[in-house]
């Protein structure tokens, strides 16, 4: 993924997190999803055309998954189509991101971006839970984790890559992993539990 493209992915993840939190409407989020989705289709196409080896192809091909996701969000917002198809597609994206994380870490030797792909695998699995199988009690967790993921895995790395200051070493990978695990734990404890069902208090027994 290009550094500039990664930076704008951060923006769209933050916007979609705010959408899930109910801060903005679907139609308000649609333009940026369409813009970034189009970018994430054009960029991998250019990369594939210019690819000189299988590594370049393997790096570019998964990017379509995210471009299609953002375009789908934008189209659904404009048309009012229901979200189940997008939810189940997100499960496919999650599985692909998980395998890409393994490939990035073991084959390419890039620990930080292997962890970043794990973030994306978890986030898209949460999208599947909320949109595909309607686990609505996870919407706030997913919204906040989308915002955290947008900042930690896209906006900040994208800005650092553009400026030439992105470090690719084991401490960075460990720090990213710790932020992700701690964020999920905190969000689960604070937002993810279903609200308890209200119970009707028992009527006092009448004496005879």
| Phi, psi torsion values for 52, nearest 5 degrees | -105, -10
pTM of this structure: 0.88
What pLDDT does 208 receive? 37
Could you tell me the two tokens for 77?
A: 């917002």
What pLDDT does 196 receive? 54
Q: What is the pLDDT of residues 90-122, one digit of tens each?
A: 999 999 999 999 999 998 889 999 999 999 999
Residues recorded for the chain:
208
**Could you write out the DSSP letters of every residue in 122-185?**
HHHHHHIIIIIS--GGGHHHHHHHHHHHIIIIIIHHHHHHHHT----SHHHHHHHHHHHHHHHH
pLDDT band of residue 55 (cuts 50, 70, 90) is confident
pLDDT band of residue 199 (cuts 50, 70, 90) is very low
| Phi, psi torsion values for 171, nearest 5 degrees | -55, -35
pLDDT band of residue 200 (cuts 50, 70, 90) is very low
What pLDDT does 15 receive? 97
The residues, any chain, with a CB within 8 Å of residue 59's CB and separated by 6 or more, are 1, 47
Q: What is the pLDDT of residues 120-171, one digit of tens each?
A: 999 999 999 999 999 999 999 999 999 999 999 999 999 998 888 888 889 9
What pLDDT does 184 receive? 95
CATH superfamily of 3-192: AmiS/UreI transporter (1.25.40.600)
The domain spans of the chain are: 3-192
CA atoms within 13 A on the CB side of 56: 11
Question: Residue 75 and residue 124: Cα distance in Å, rounded?
Answer: 18
For the segment 78-85, the average pLDDT, to the nearest whole number, is: 92
């Amino acid at each position: 993924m290009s550094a500039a493209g990664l930076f704008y992915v951060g923006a769209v993840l933050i916007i979609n997190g705010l959408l899930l939190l109910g801060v903005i409407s679907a139609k308000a989020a649609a333009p940026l999803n369409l813009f970034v989705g189009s970018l994430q289709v054009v960029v991998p196409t250019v990369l594939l055309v210019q690819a000189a080896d299988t590594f370049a192809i393997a790096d570019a091909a998964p990017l379509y998954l995210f471009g299609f996701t953002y375009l789908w969000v934008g189209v659904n917002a404009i048309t009012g189509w229901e979200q189940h198809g997008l939810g189940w597609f997100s499960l496919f994206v999650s599985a692909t991101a998980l395998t890409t994380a393994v490939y990035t870490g073991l084959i390419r030797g890039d620990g930080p971006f292997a962890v970043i792909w794990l973030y994306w695998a978890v986030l898209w699995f949460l999208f599947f839970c909320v949109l595909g199988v309607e686990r609505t009690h996870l919407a706030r967790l997913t919204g906040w984790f989308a915002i955290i993921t947008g900042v930690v895995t896209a906006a900040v790395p994208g800005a650092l890559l553009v400026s030439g200051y992105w470090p690719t070493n084991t401490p960075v990978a460990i720090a990213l992993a710790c932020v992700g695990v701690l964020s999920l734990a905190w969000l689960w404890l604070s937002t993810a539990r279903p609200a308890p069902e209200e119970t009707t208090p028992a009527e006092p027994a009448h004496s005879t």
